[in-house]
Structure 1
Amino acid sequence: MTQTAPSAAATAKDDPGRRRLWMIMVLGALTAVAPLSIDMYLPALPSLAEDLGTGPVQTQLTLTACIVGLAIGQGVAGPLSDAFGRRRPLLIGMAAYAVASLLCVAAPTVETLIALRLVQGATGAAGIVIARAIVQDLYDGVAAAKFFALLMLVNGLAPILAPAVGGQLLRLMPWPGVFAVLAGIGVALFLASLAGLGETLPPGRRQTGGLRATAATFRTLVADRSFVGHGLASGLAFAAMFTYIAGSPFVLQDIYGLSPQAFSLVFGVNSVGIVAAGQVSGVLAGRVALRRLLGVGLAIVAAGAIGLLAVVLAGGGLYPVLTALFLVAAGQGLIGPNATALALSGRPPQVAGTASALLGVSQFALGGAAAPLAGIAGPDTAVPMALAIAALAFLAVAATASAARSRGTASLVSG
């Protein structure tokens, strides 16, 4: 573990009890901003499309806008946290997220909602990128992989609970009510961060030199084959997951006839698979090389992607599709912690935010680009979703192979 400030050390080492548990809960909740913002209103997509008089592609653009916002916001908030510390940009981001979520409630058209979702994602991104940077302030290598796996116990609840909560909310109120709930979550995250997170990047370790130094850091990271390879592997696998997220409401509800509540249950089961795989990863990290754990996760996703494509092309039934989608989802629990730890390992604290930002940008930019592909042929076929997931899984495997050939990887994967 790397100690970077008295408050950080006290949080992560000297006080391993309540304060550490609180930090895990708050950081886990911050990294759950993305699934909360996306998954909670997934069951409402068909009714949203009908209410706003639009089609599935335009409706899925509300997902894409949020994802693109999450990418842009991380690219801004990460470097800012290197220069000004973690706490101030985090609090500003969470306050702005609450306001943006509240404005979504009153969106009169799908175009307005798309624009507001972009802002919502950009502001909420601060929690995601800065939470990763805080972990890197405190841990490195295997210890970081274990801690990221612990965070999945918390942020893994979001995709389990969010669709179920969204489905139940639809019984009580129209779809704008989901965004009112998200605004309340934003307020809660702001207050939790204010009360429970200290500064982990003291002034003496912050990035100096302004935009010139930030640009130089970006160039260094982009030239690092290990960083780029592991970042792309994580981003492409993440994009496969987002394609599933964007396409599954229409595929499972419109084609296979699931109700919003049944869809929420299926989505929750898949999320349990992510959490379970993440905890297996945390237990095995240090005993099994991180690169090997990453490879197993990618193999699971690839198997699910190939199976999904085969079932869809053959006109198979609901249960084979659900099995394949479960594999695509569950493998993420092994990919996320290990790819992130491998990409960030060895980075000095003053660039952790920028490195975390690049990882986040790759994940959400790729996810935002891939998500609309799921509905490109309309709501009556699952073939585009299956093709996109299979292609992204193949590219993620290729990116990992490229990272494995880099000179810097060998010392990082021995566990």
Structure 2
Amino acid sequence: MREGIARLTLVLGAVMATGPLALDMYLPALPTLEAEFAASTARVQHTVSAYLFGMGLGQLAFGPLTDRFGRKRPLLAGLGLFALASAGCALAHSIDSFVLLRFAQALGGSAGMVVIRAVIRDRFDALQSARVLSLMMLVMGVAPILAPLAGGWLLVSGSWHWIFFVLAAYALFCVAVVFLFLEESHPPDARAPSVGRALAGILPLTRDRRFLGPTLVFIAAFGAFFAYLAAAPFVFIRFFSVPADRFGWYFGANALGFITVSQLNRRLLAGRGPRRVLGWGVCLLGVAALLLLACALTGIAGFAGVFGALFLAVASLGLIASNASAVTLAPFGDRAGGASSLLGASQALTGVVASAAVGWIHARGAVPMAVVVAACAAISFASYALLVKTERASA
């Protein structure tokens, strides 16, 4: 049994890593892309927004497809599209074509995000799901550590094009792994009779408080993360003069904090449950956001202060991500694909708004990032309070 869970964790973790790899590996190259395509900083940041937008729309599409056709075939199709679009990004000759191909890359990659959560919900209850997701974060969390380092090395030793060739090769590797080792977890007799019926099953979720409460906590917290993701290369490299090849070390340190707290989460769940531990994560994010805002506005502690606050913010996601997902999906086993797709799409589209909002705020240094992170933390805290109130009212 443990061997089966370990293999499933490795397979799903490898597939889930395509998301952070596609986002994180090319981050050191953002200033280079600005010069390569003679584009503005805001235009280059659109490559992040386009990816998140494609990830959101793609998950809305793949959710009903996985409820109708099973988990494995849609996943293989998505990974194939991801590989083709990654190769296209490497060959792009303009910022417009690059943004479009990033959108296509995200459409393909979105299949993995939907299928992974659905497979875990197919096989485990809420508490077990939270534990398996925490274990998988250990596998997936290596990607944000290695990706910027690898991207910086490829950028310095070769060119930015090789970053996307490597992403294409990794996607093909995942195709082989899924084909050989992932068993179908959604049998034909449990599938929706049509894609339309599966899609119709998603709509009631938007009015279900059991879904809305933990989903709002989840997407607001990740809105803070995506604001950091979009702004960090420019804040670190330009404002604080961090060398491009060292950016990955700082980014990786934050990812290491996320991994550590994710594994701590597995121990905290014993005798407590995912909803309670989720609240601790929301509180940690709130503290980190206040520290970041204070450091950005006053300049106190300089780079160390900003980096330390971001470390705590990213670490808090180790308590929020798996627990919020488990609490959200637990009541919806018959619609796991649709619920997973709506959760993931909401996360990605929130990321679009949060990353774009950083560019809308005209201020120097880390202030725009800090303001957006603080706003997202406040929304996450308020949503958690609503979740607790709803649970007590229904008890």
Query: 347, 370, 380: which one pairs with 1:363?
Result: 347
Counterpart of 1:156 in structure 2 is 141
The 2-side partners of 1:209 and 1:262 are apart by 50
Query: 332, 340, 355: which one pairs with 2:325?
Result: 340
TM-score of the superposed pair, with normalisation by structure 1 = 0.92
The 2-side partners of 1:256 and 1:378 are apart by 18
1:134-283 equivalences under 5 Å are: 134-211=119-196, 213-283=197-267
Counterpart of 1:90 in structure 2 is 75
- CA spacing shift, 1:310–1:379, aligned 2, 3 Å: closer
The 1-side partners of 2:46 and 2:296 are apart by 24
Counterpart of 1:309 in structure 2 is 293
Query: Could you tell me whether the CA contact under 8 Å between 1:44 and 1:170 is conserved in 2?
Result: yes
The 2-side partners of 1:145 and 1:130 are apart by 16
Matched, 1:116 2:123: no
The 2-side partners of 1:180 and 1:63 are apart by 18
Query: Could you tell me whether the CA contact under 8 Å between 1:56 and 1:378 is conserved in 2?
Result: no
Post-superposition shift, 1:220?
A: 2.0
Post-superposition shift, 1:267?
A: 0.5
Q: Read off the aligned partner of 1:45 and give its amino acid letter.
A: L
The 1-side partners of 2:262 and 2:363 are apart by 32
The 2-side partners of 1:146 and 1:40 are apart by 28
Secondary structure at the counterpart of residue 53 of structure 1? coil
Post-superposition shift, 1:372?
A: 2.0
The 2-side partners of 1:402 and 1:217 are apart by 24
Query: Could you tell me whether the CA contact under 8 Å between 1:293 and 1:334 is conserved in 2?
Result: yes
The 1-side partners of 2:159 and 2:104 are apart by 22
Secondary structure at the counterpart of residue 75 of structure 1? helix
The 2-side partners of 1:409 and 1:293 are apart by 20
The 2-side partners of 1:267 and 1:117 are apart by 22
The 1-side partners of 2:15 and 2:392 are apart by 30
Matched, 1:65 2:26: no
Query: 3, 27, 30: which one pairs with 1:45?
Result: 30
Post-superposition shift, 1:23?
A: 1.4
Q: Read off the aligned partner of 2:153 and give its amino acid letter.
A: Q
Secondary structure at the counterpart of residue 189 of structure 2? helix
Query: Could you tell me whether the CA contact under 8 Å between 1:70 and 1:364 is conserved in 2?
Result: yes
Deviation string 1:75-126 (CA, Å, 9 cap, x unpaired) is 1111100000001101111111101100001111111111100000011110
Q: Read off the aligned partner of 1:198 and give its amino acid letter.
A: E
Query: Could you tell me whether the CA contact under 8 Å between 1:374 and 1:382 is conserved in 2?
Result: no
- CA spacing shift, 1:68–1:322, aligned 2, 3 Å: same
Aligned length: 394
- CA spacing shift, 1:377–1:397, aligned 2, 3 Å: closer
Post-superposition shift, 1:286?
A: 3.1
Query: Could you tell me whether the CA contact under 8 Å between 1:146 and 1:282 is conserved in 2?
Result: yes
The 2-side partners of 1:162 and 1:378 are apart by 30
Post-superposition shift, 1:71?
A: 0.8
The 2-side partners of 1:287 and 1:273 are apart by 24
Post-superposition shift, 1:259?
A: 0.7
The 1-side partners of 2:360 and 2:204 are apart by 37
Mean Cα deviation higher: 315-324 or 334-343: 315-324
Post-superposition shift, 1:376?
A: 3.4
Post-superposition shift, 1:410?
A: 7.1
Post-superposition shift, 1:226?
A: 2.0
Query: Could you tell me whether the CA contact under 8 Å between 2:135 and 2:263 is conserved in 1?
Result: yes
Counterpart of 1:8 in structure 2 is none
Secondary structure at the counterpart of residue 405 of structure 1? helix
Post-superposition shift, 1:402?
A: 1.3
Structure 1 unaligned blocks of 5 or more:
1-12
Post-superposition shift, 1:215?
A: 3.9
- CA spacing shift, 1:241–1:409, aligned 2, 3 Å: farther
Q: Read off the aligned partner of 1:207 and give its amino acid letter.
A: A
Structure 2 unaligned blocks of 5 or more:
none
Post-superposition shift, 1:172?
A: 1.6
The 2-side partners of 1:383 and 1:96 are apart by 37
Secondary structure at the counterpart of residue 201 of structure 2? helix
Counterpart of 2:388 in structure 1 is 404
- CA spacing shift, 1:160–1:309, aligned 2, 3 Å: same
Q: Read off the aligned partner of 1:340 and give its amino acid letter.
A: S
Secondary structure at the counterpart of residue 332 of structure 2? coil
Post-superposition shift, 1:261?
A: 2.2
